[in-house]
Structure 1
Amino acid sequence: MSAQDKAGLRRSLRRARQSLGKNERARAELAANRFLKRHIRRNGRIGIYWPIGSELRLNGFIQTALTRGAKLYLPYIEPHSLRLWFTPYQADGRKAERRHSRGSLAIPQFSGSKIRAHRLNVLLVPLVGIDRQGYRLGQGGGYYDVTLAALKGRLKPHTVGAGFACQLCGSLPHEAHDIALDAFVSEAGIMRFSAQTPA
């Protein structure tokens, strides 16, 4: 699939996500956050994400995770590198040290002791779309692709795509090096994927 085709697919999936009405979105986010809470363990290290645009908000999940004693981490993007670090989430709303911008995306970056993804127990992954085999279509920056690929041969976190049911597709284009996620959580419930062999 060409880059142009992928861009069209992204536009179509974003439109589906953006077309959710205010009340429908609120109900869907509440339900998805409830399903996500099953991944919380006391003292567990969980990678979360800062939602951009119409991505699924994690407010309910974050509140519960902190109450239950989980440790939350946000992605940290170093200049000139695609592989993500993760820094501690600050519940006190500490201001970001800087914002990483790429195109229309502006992602707050928080300081703190950095860890790599293999040190997390669970990693929640944002997405534009996901298929029934667990392959995701992201924003196109490549950060999660590179980060997930770096987990090969290591102990890896349980990877969970988080989004809305309208983002689920029959199949998406993927390369031999792409890594399928372990699960997808939406308002419709939890979809688990079996181990994938590269195509």
Structure 2
Amino acid sequence: MDFPDKAVLRAEARARRKTLASAGSAAARCVADRAAALPAGDVVAVYSAVGSELDPEPLAHALIASGRQVCLPVVTERDAPMIFRRWTPGEPLEVDAAGCPAPLPLAAQVEPDLILCPLLAFDDRGGRLGQGGGYYDRTIAAMDGRVVFIGLAYSGQQVKRLPVEPHDATLHGVLSETGYTAFP
């Protein structure tokens, strides 16, 4: 199967996600209602939504209410794996080395069991199209199988097939407003 350039795929996926984001707060509440469907894990990494990304904050509240700890990724060096710092919604954030909101350095560094990541598109084989910075790919590779990697997306972000390169981290599943889907 021939694929268009990843830059073209990203542009198309960004436009599609922007349209889907009109259901933003309702979709985010639906995702939070499905928190129990996620795989087990005491420490769950979410992210601070930027632009049209599905907002995980309602999900973070649900995870905390169920007894799980929540953390956020932090880019400390642009070409290195991310670290994770404990976080509770409402705590102050600062911009990290990638320009994303992240917990302050005084927050405890933790290693998550489960990482929920934003994405532009996904397919039914666990393929994920991200922004192109490689932050999650480097981080998952460095964790060497010690973490479950889940996409957080609008169901409409699913595509038939994505190009997957050797360095691309494969998703174990996706949580959307319609439920959780595990990949083989």
Q: Which residue of 2 aligns with 1:50?
A: 48
Q: Return the offset for 1:21.
A: 6.5
Q: 1:134 aligns with which of 126, 129, 153?
A: 126
Instruction: Please give the TM-score of this superposition, normalised by the length of structure 2.
Output: 0.86
| 1:80 CA drift (Å) | 4.3
Please tell me the root mean square deviation across aligned C-alpha atoms, in Å: 2.3
Alpha carbons of structure 1 residues 124 and 79: separation in structure 2 relative to 1, 3 Å: same
- State the SS of the aligned residue for 2:100: strand
Tell me, what secondary structure is at the counterpart of 1:51? coil
Q: Does 1:178 align with 2:163?
A: no
Tell me the alpha carbon deviations over residues 3-56 of structure 1, each in whole angstroms, 9 at most, x when there is no partner. x8211111111111111373x333322222222343386x81111111111000
Matches within 5 A, 1:156-171: 156-171=146-161
Residues 71-150 of structure 1: pairs in structure 2 closer than 5 A? 71-94=69-92, 96=93, 98-100=94-96, 102=98, 106-110=99-103, 111=105, 112-115=107-110, 119-150=111-142
Counterpart residue number, 1:14: 14
SS at match of 1:53: coil
* Structure 1 unmatched ranges of 5 or more: 195-199
Query: Structure 2 counterpart of 1:100, which letter?
Result: D
Structure-2 change in CA distance of 1:177 and 1:55 (3 Å): same
Structure 1 position 63, deviation (Å): 1.3
Preserved contact between residue 40 and residue 68 of structure 1 (Cα < 8 Å): no
Output the amino acid matched with 1:66: I
Equivalent residues of 1:47, 1:73 under 8 A apart: yes
Instruction: State, as a whole percentage, how many aligned pairs show the same letter.
Output: 28
Secondary structure at the counterpart of residue 173 of structure 1:
coil
The 8 Å contact of residues 57 and 89 in structure 2, kept in 1 or not, is answered as: no
Query: Higher Cα Rg: structure 1 or 2?
Result: 1
Residue equivalent to 1:29: 28
Does the 8 Å contact 1:40/1:65 carry over to 2?
no
In structure 2, list runs of 5 or more residues that go unmatched. none
